Amino acid sequence: MLIVLLISSVAVFYAIRLSGGDATAAALPGSATEEFREEFRARIGLDKPIYLQYFAYMGKILKGDPGHSITNNASLVEMLKEHGKNSLVLGGAAFALVFLIGVPLGVLASLRRNSWADHGIMSFSIAGMAIPNFWLALLAIWLFASTFRILPAAGCCSGKQLILPAIVLAFEGIALTVRMTRSAMIENQNNDFVRTLRAGGLSEWRVMGKHVLRNAMIPIISLAGLRIGQIVGYALIVEQIFSWPGIGQALVTAVLRRDYPVAQFFSLVLVVLVVLGNWLADTGYTLANPRLRRSR
Partner 1 sequence: MKEEIQDNLIQIHDLRISIYSEGSYFDVVKGLSLSVCSNEILCLVGESGCGKSITALSVMGLLPTDVAQVTNGEILFRGQDLLKLSASDMRRLRSDEISMIFQDPITSLDPVFTIGSLLTEIIRVHRNVGSSEAENMAVDALEAAQLPNARQRLKSYPHELSGGMRQRVMIALATALNPAVLIADEPTTALDVTVQAQILERLRERQREQKMGMLLITHDLAVVAEVADRVAVMYAGEIVEEASVQTLFDKPQHPYTQGLLGAIPDITARRGSLHAIPGRVPPPQVPPPGCEFAPRCVHALEECWESRPLLEGSGEGKLRCFNPQPLIT
Residues binding partner 1 (CB under 8 A):
191-193, 195-203, 206, 211, 214-215, 218, 289-291, 295
Of 214, 176, 200, 180, nearest to 97 by C-alpha is 176
Which region, left, alpha or beta, applies to residue 184 given φ > 0 means left and ψ of -120 to 50 means alpha? alpha
Which C-beta is closer to partner 1: that of 149 or that of 294?
A: 294
Q: How far is the CB of 286 from partner 1 (least distance, A)?
A: 13
Could you list the beta-strand ranges (E) of the chain.
none
Instruction: Classify residue 292 as exposed, middle or buried by CB count within 10 Å of its CB (0-12, 13-18, 19+).
Output: exposed
Which C-beta is closer to partner 1: that of 26 or that of 202?
A: 202
Q: How far is the CB of 215 from partner 1 (least distance, A)?
A: 6
d(CA 41, CA 190) in angstroms, rounded, equals: 66
Q: How far is the CB of 223 from partner 1 (least distance, A)?
A: 17
Which C-beta is closer to partner 1: that of 17 or that of 206?
A: 206
Q: How far is the CB of 190 from partner 1 (least distance, A)?
A: 9
Of 223, 233, 231, nearest to 281 by C-alpha is 223
What is the radius of gyration, based on Cα positions, of the chain? 24
Which C-beta is closer to partner 1: that of 212 or that of 271?
A: 212
Q: How far is the CB of 227 from partner 1 (least distance, A)?
A: 21
d(CA 83, CA 87) in angstroms, rounded, equals: 6
Which C-beta is closer to partner 1: that of 160 or that of 293?
A: 293
